[in-house]
Each structure stands twice: as structure tokens, then as C-alpha cells.
Amino acid sequence: ECGLTELARATQREVERLTQLDKHPHIVTLLDTNLDEEPPFYVMELVGRGSLQQWVTVSAPADPRRALRWMTQIADALSYVHGKGLIHCDLKPANILIDERDSIRVVDFGQSRVFTESSASLGTLFYMAPEQAVPAQAGTTIHPDVRWDVYALGATLYAILTGHVPYATPINVQQMKQSTTLDQRLSNYRELIDHDPRPSWGHSRVNPEVRAVIDKCM
């Protein structure tokens, strides 16, 4: 029952957000919903060419010109989201789908927050801004920040353009796995981003101006 209650809350949040954001060409469209069913459900448009996750590979990263077009579309979608007083909070390649015209759709607003909330929202490790990586605790006030999404945008673009998830070296990934509690994992995550060298572009074909934008996002 607790699981269904949590599922219902996440589904309700997703439906509420998509209802607010239903007018943007780069945000997925909500088609139908019924929150009274067990389990509750919603139906989105079919976006049939997978997600940007397929380019997070060293052997075949995204073409820079193509990625730059996606970057513009994602930024436009985020600007619309922020203009509605919302923060996505879990932007990453797997949450950005591609349609048949090679345009993107941002999905998964289940972790999103409104500007006025004082509530933690954890994203995905190595795409999440370090200042977002704070667990919800009694008496702790967390102010969601649009810069969380800006960091995640930079991390997403870096990942698809280089094939490497920023800071996700084998040593750092192993360290995260060895953390025994959520608090420890988040603390270790914040520390490694604060102290590790900034992600290198290596021999990437991305031009310096675009690199500078992405670096500033992170």
C-alpha cells in the first residue's frame, strides 16, 4: 500500500506538471490519465527513436552539429519550464527522447519541484548538481534552484558529445557503490565533484565556444 501511495504521488506530480507544460513542442504531450485507478496511470505520446542515452558511448558519441541543435531545443524547453515556475530536477540523456523528425522531447517530471517549495529532490548521480545532492531531513530547508537544471544540461551534453559521463570514472563509480547509506553516497558525490579535476574534452571535435558554454553550465 505504501508503494502504491508513493507511486500515486509521483504519477500525480507528473500529470500535474505535464498539464502545465502541454503547449511546448519539445516537452512530451500528455494524452490521457486516470489517477483513480489502481495503480494510477497516464498516457504520453509515442516518441519512437529512443533517447539521447544511445550516444553516451565512447565508440560513437553524437555529431557536434546535431547535438548543438538538440542543445538549443533542450534549452528552449527548460526556459519554458522555468518560466512556468518549475524545475525539472532530473535532466539526463535517458529523459530526453527523440522523435521521427530528429527533434527532442523532455520527459519525466516526477522529481520536479516548484520554485516556492522547500523540498529536496534527488536527481541522478553524475548528472545532478552537487548542491542538489542533499538528503531531505527533518528541520532542513532546501530551496530548489534552476541552476540544478543548468548543471544537468551541461552534464548531459558533455556525455553525448564525448561518450563519457562527467566525473564517472571507474574509481568514482566504485566509491559510490561502496557508500553504505544515502547520506554517505551524497556526501562522497559532493566531495568528488568539488575536488576532482574538471572533465577533459580530450580529442573531441566540439568547437571551443560550445565547450565553454557546456563547461560554464557545470
- Which pLDDT belongs to residue 96? 98
Question: Mind listing the pLDDT tens digit of every residue in the chain (218 residues)?
Answer: 444 466 667 777 788 888 888 789 999 988 888 877 777 778 888 998 999 999 999 999 999 999 999 999 999 999 999 999 999 999 999 999 999 999 999 999 888 888 888 777 889 999 999 999 987 664 567 888 999 999 999 999 999 999 999 999 999 999 899 988 888 999 999 999 999 999 999 888 899 999 999 999 99
CA–CA dist 114, 111 (Å, integer): 10
Q: For residue 51, how many C-alpha atoms fall within 13 Å in the half-sphere facing its CB?
A: 15
- Which pLDDT belongs to residue 7? 63
- Which pLDDT belongs to residue 137? 66
Active site residue 90: yes
Whole-angstrom Cα Rg for the chain: 18
- Which pLDDT belongs to residue 103? 96
Q: Which of 56, 58, 66 is nearest to 206 (CA)?
A: 66
pTM of the model: 0.89
135 prior amide bond cis, ω within 30:
no
- Which pLDDT belongs to residue 37? 77
- Among 22, 63, 90, 196, the active-site one is 90
* Cβ atoms 43, 32 nearer than 8 A: yes
* Cβ atoms 21, 81 nearer than 8 A: yes
Q: State the helix-helix crossing angle for 170-178 and 182-195, rounded to 10 degrees.
A: 150
- Which pLDDT belongs to residue 4? 47
